[in-house]
Amino acid sequence: MEKVVKMNSGRSIREQVSDAEWQTRVDLAACYRLMAHYRMTDLIYNHITARVPGADHHVLINDYGLHYEEITASNLLKIDLEGNVLLAQNPDCEVNYPGYVIHSAVHSARVDAACVIHTHTRATMAVAAMQCGLLPLSQIAMRFYKRISYHDYEGPAVDLDERLRLVADLGKTDAMLLRNHGTLVVGRSVAEAFNLIYFLEMACQAQVDTLSSGMPYILPATAAAEKAASVMQPVNDSPHGSMDGSREWPAMIRMMDRKDPSFRN
């Protein structure tokens, strides 16, 4: 990875990017703020990336060292899939290397990966360490029934050759538990990726709560779990509500605007 930062004195980031890229930046900055709001952060670590609209295979990622609550549309870094910084507000910016390894692998292999979120929250780390993996203990968890993948722990993600194994394990799924590590989701939009990580986090919290109670638990019938998973797939335009995040996202943006609209800067 090299740092090839494009700076243009006197011109704002907004003036240097297309309308489509700016909208992606605003959505991604909002997603970072939402992750902080719902307590899905880990100090300055973890990463969310979004593909820049266009054919250049560029992605947006956070400047390493900033808290999620500090992310704005302008201070996001634009990098290529080799990790080179192409455009940044801060000339002293830095890309978190494990974040580059994980996210570049997914964006390179999946053309549908408009947004990738990686977390290690307490609940997802706990379930990722359970031999059983994610169980269909709640309706929320059933969304991922037979639709979640697993990647064995190989140590901190600093080896480029791990990318091949990571994307092979991910396959065509949109959610993956990284064993002894955390989780990763892939969305066809920022809204869909946030929707996925929110409900996966809730499913993991419910599983930890259920198992830690020590009480006997009930697993649904296979047919019922499969029906729930099928109904809740993002591709289904259900009258009960789409699961691609498009219905929830405007409400999430309004909430962030009320709380702190600086993400739009």
Start-to-end CA distance of the chain, whole Å, equals 28
The answer as to whether 4 is a domain residue is no
DSSP state of 185: E
Total domains in the fold of the chain: 1
Instruction: Work out the average pLDDT over 195-218.
Output: 96
- Please report which confidence band the pLDDT of residue 9 belongs to, taking 50, 70 and 90 as the band edges: low
In a domain, 17, yes or no: yes
265 within domain boundaries: no
Whether residue 209 is contained in a domain is answered as: yes
Q: Across residues 80-95, what is the average pLDDT?
A: 90
Over 70: is that where the pLDDT of 6 sits? Answer: no
In a domain, 233, yes or no: yes
pLDDT at 7: 54
> 182 is written with which tokens?
């955390």
Residue 5 lies in a domain: no
pLDDT band at 199 (very low <50, low <70, confident <90, very high): very high
pLDDT band at 249 (very low <50, low <70, confident <90, very high): very high
Q: Which residue has the higher pLDDT, 245 or 114?
A: 114
Computed over every residue of the chain, the mean pLDDT equals 90
229 close to 142: Cβ distance less than 8 angstroms: yes
**Mean pLDDT, residues 201-220:** 96
Parent domain of 209: 13-257
Q: Which residues contact 95 (CB under 8 A, 6 or more apart)?
A: 1, 61, 64, 77, 79, 83, 85
Give, for 182, the enclosing helix (H) or strand (E). Answer: strand 182-187
Please tell me the predicted confidence (pLDDT) of residue 156.
78
Helices (H) and strands (E) in the chain, counts: 9, 8
The tokens for 99 are 């974040």
State the Cα torsion 67-27-97-172 to the nearest 10°: 130
CB atoms within 10 A of CB 93: 21
Average of per-residue pLDDT across 167-180: 95
Q: How confident is the model at residue 239 (pLDDT cuts 50, 70, 90)?
A: very low
For residues 262, 260, 70 and 42, what is the CA-based torsion angle, rounded to 10 degrees? -150
We report the CATH number of the domain holding residue 219 as 3.40.225.10
Work out the average pLDDT over 173-183: 95
180 domain-assigned: yes
pLDDT at 81: 87
Query: Distance (Å, rounded) from C-alpha 157 to C-alpha 163?
Result: 9
**What three-state secondary structure class fits 151?**
strand
Choose the weakest-confidence range: 178-187, 216-225, 231-240: 231-240
Residue 8 falls inside a structural domain: no
Question: Are the beta carbons of 253 and 189 closer than 8 angstroms?
Answer: no
The pLDDT value given to residue 110: 92
What tokens were used for 188? Answer: 């066809």
Q: Which residue is associated with the tokens 């029934």? A: 145
